[in-house]
């Protein structure tokens, strides 16, 4: 879709507020367990997002000026959904697996794949201007911080949020309803919080540092080793990928902020969860038994692959949408990629992986075309995408995908706009070095060539 020019920016405040309200509704429903269901597979936020999507489709049809961008992403989404629907029909009507609950899996296909595409499409196409997308992105980060504030208050017993519970082993389930999923969610947005800290000044910078502190404390409270691995891997990847855009001063600033935040957050969480954290990060990790170190994941993965080996064709075709759930496995796959491979074969694995690769690559390509704050926003998004891609190697995600694809829609709007319009106020020229902006005290822009 060819975006409208920034020079003729229209007022998108109303649509921006609607998108923020939608995200707030989704978050409130999760954290406070609000009774927003309107029937099987349909909730109030679902109804709202589909109304917005219908309005966008009608507008596109009337204007007849739509050019679809990110076609590879759309193709992967449609291929994944189409193949999942096909395998569901085969599993239910042809193979007829024992215990395969067709209606349940139709609803899950809609919730886990179709809704992801819808959230991306709405947040990508509803806004035409980078400034609007960036403002909604900041609202999403603010919402992330507020959700984790509630999680911390609930974890320390100051409030009781109906949607937040504690596991039997003492680990906090967090804002996504499961410890590892919550950690993956936080890891996805930590780079954006760091970026906002760097490009902000005064009181705003203090607020984002406070947000970092809250989110890091919530991650420690989840005691998720996979989440911490995701943060480490994404940070190292980001440094390697974007080193030419980041000055030494900026790296030292990020390192200093990170160490300070950890130095405050860890003792705070240790006061309530000290023995749990010691057992998770010291006791289990130092075990000589690799199965114990992986929390039993290696046994789960071995069982999954051995089941596929009994019918080798499934390495190509998969067993069918959600067939894993209908089989007598005791535990979930605990691996997003193996789950895709088991259920949807190479088509599912390739398309599911390509979705993450495409959005990360699109953000990386646009970084060189932009100045701050958009440059830092896309860098943070790419790093966050690597974080969620790493975290999903250790956990199956459900609720976090809604937020990720909304986030991806906003980031891709900025990235696509950068390819079609390059006003000098936003983009560096190739003929002269851009002056160091006042809002870029750490040299992110000035150091890029």
pLDDT per position as a tens digit, 276-327: 777 766 665 555 455 555 567 888 999 999 999 999 999 999 999 999 998 9
Mean pLDDT of 405-424: 85
**What is d(CA 117, CA 120) in angstroms, rounded to the nearest whole number?**
5
Q: Which residues are CB-contacts of 131 (< 8 A; sequence separation ≥ 6)?
A: 6, 9
* Alpha carbon of residue 378 to chain centroid: 14
So where are the chain's domains?
6-420
Residue 160 pLDDT class (50, 70, 90 cuts): confident
What does the radius of gyration of the chain's CA atoms come to, in whole angstroms? 22
Give the tens place of pLDDT for each residue, 58-98. Answer: 877 777 666 678 999 999 999 999 999 999 999 999 999 99
Cis peptide before 373 (omega within 30 of 0): yes
What is the rounded CA–CA span in Å between residue 255 and residue 257?
A: 6
Element at 423 (helix H, strand E): none
pLDDT of residue 168: 66
Structure tokens at 371: 């100045």
As a whole number of angstroms, the distance between CA 211 and CA 167 comes to: 25
Q: Closest Cα partner for 206 from 261, 247, 164?
A: 261
Beta bridge partners of 42: 39
- Tell me the torsion sign for CA atoms 343, 346, 350, 353: positive
pTM of the full structure? 0.87
Query: 25, 22, 48, 55: which is closest to 126 by C-alpha?
Result: 55
Residue 337 has pLDDT above 70, yes or no: yes
């Amino acid at each position: 879709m060819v975006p409208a020019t920034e020079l003729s920016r229209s007022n998108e405040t109303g649509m921006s507020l609607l998108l923020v309200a939608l995200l707030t509704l989704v978050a409130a429903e999760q954290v406070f367990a609000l009774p927003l269901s309107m029937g099987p597979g349909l909730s109030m936020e679902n109804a709202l997002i589909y109304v917005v999507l219908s309005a966008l489709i009608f507008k596109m049809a009337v204007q007849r000026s739509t050019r679809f961008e990110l076609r590879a992403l759309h193709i992967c989404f449609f291929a994944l959904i189409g193949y999942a629907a096909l395998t569901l029909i085969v599993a239910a009507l042809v193979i007829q697996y024992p215990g395969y609950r067709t209606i349940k899996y139709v609803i899950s296909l809609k919730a886990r794949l179709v809704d992801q595409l819808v959230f991306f499409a709405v947040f990508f196409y509803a806004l035409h201007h980078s400034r609007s997308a960036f403002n909604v992105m900041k609202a999403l980060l603010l919402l992330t911080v507020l959700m984790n504030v509630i999680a911390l208050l609930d974890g320390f017993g100051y409030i009781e949020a109906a949607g937040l519970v504690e596991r039997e082993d003492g680990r906090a389930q967090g804002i996504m309803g499961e410890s590892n999923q919550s950690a993956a969610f936080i890891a996805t947005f930590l780079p954006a919080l760091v970026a906002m800290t760097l490009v902000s000044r005064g009181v705003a910078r203090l607020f984002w540092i406070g947000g970092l502190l809250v989110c890091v404390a919530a991650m420690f409270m989840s005691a998720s080793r996979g989440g911490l691995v995701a943060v480490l891997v994404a940070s190292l990847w980001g440094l390697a990928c974007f080193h030419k855009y980041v000055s030494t001063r900026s790296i030292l600033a990020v390192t200093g902020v990170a160490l300070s935040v950890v130095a405050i957050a860890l003792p705070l969480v240790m006061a309530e969860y000290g023995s749990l954290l010691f057992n998770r990060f010291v006791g289990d990790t130092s075990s000589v038994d690799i199965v114990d170190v992986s929390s039993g994941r290696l046994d789960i993965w071995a069982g999954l692959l051995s089941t596929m080996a009994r019918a080798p064709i499934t390495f190509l075709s998969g067993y069918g949408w959600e067939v894993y759930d209908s089989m007598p496995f005791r535990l979930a796959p605990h691996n997003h990629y193996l789950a895709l491979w088991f259920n949807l074969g190479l088509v599912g694995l390739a398309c599911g992986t390509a979705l993450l690769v495409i959005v990360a690559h699109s953000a990386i390509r646009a970084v060189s075309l932009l100045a701050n704050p958009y440059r830092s926003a896309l860098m943070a998004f790419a790093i966050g995408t690597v974080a969620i891609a790493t975290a999903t190697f250790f956990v199956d995600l459900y609720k976090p995908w809604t937020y990720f694809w909304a986030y991806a829609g906003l980031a891709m709007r900025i990235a696509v706009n950068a390819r079609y319009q390059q006003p000098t106020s936003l983009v560096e020229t190739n003929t002269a070095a851009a002056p160091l902006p006042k809002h870029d005290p750490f040299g992110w822009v000035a150091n890029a060539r």
